[in-house]
Amino acid sequence: MTLNTPTLPLRLASACVIATLAGLALALRPGEWAARRPLDLAWLAWDRLGLMPMLLLLRAVELPGRGVSVSIPLAVLFAFGGLSAGMIWLGVMSGLRAWRHRLPPAADALLAAGLCLNYLVHHLFATPARYRYISTASNFFAFSPALQLAVFAVAAGMAVVVTRLRERCLPA
């Protein structure tokens, strides 16, 4: 907080610490899996792609009201298209897991992996290679806290539902 110029005010320094700790908390399980269960981590990496479209596109419903040049029907199509694409992908991955006799991850692991993937994909593929930058929150989060909570709730619901279905349908 006091070592660089300009220095951060306490409020911003505290926000940075909280964001860093949240990111670290999300990274701990994948780090442990990379060390102890690398094949399970690879399967989880493919699984988490099912949550990514929904996490990125469900918030599109608020963009027309913010003046972003997207029509309301197109925003709704993006939102529900992302949700549908994610469910289809998780269904495909469930079939592949059954075929290869792979145990499914817990719902919290799937949700955390999906959250982590959003930032990584944006950083690697949506920023110019020569000018990697730290993105703004508006690229990932809804402007409305209520809508963002709904996005997280839908993602958590998807993770729980797919995990429960897999527990019932996939051989142990």
**143 within a domain of the structure (yes/no):** yes
pLDDT tens-digit readout, 143-166: 899 999 999 999 999 999 999 999
Q: Which residues are within 8 A (CB) of 74 and not within 5 positions of it... i.e. 6 or more apart?
A: none
**6 within a domain of the structure (yes/no):** no
User: What is the rounded CA–CA span in Å between residue 3 and residue 132?
Assistant: 24
What is the domain range of residue 134? 38-169
* Mean pLDDT in residue range 17-36: 86
Between residues 136 and 145, the one the model is more confident about:
145
Q: At 112, which amino acid appears?
A: A
**1 within a domain of the structure (yes/no):** no
**86 within a domain of the structure (yes/no):** yes
Domain count, the chain: 1
**28 within a domain of the structure (yes/no):** no
Burial state string for 96-114 with b = 16 or more CB within 10 A and e = fewer than 16: ebeeeebebbebebbbbbb
Average per-residue pLDDT for the chain = 86
**97 within a domain of the structure (yes/no):** yes
pLDDT tens-digit readout, 67-100: 876 788 888 898 899 999 999 999 999 999 999 9
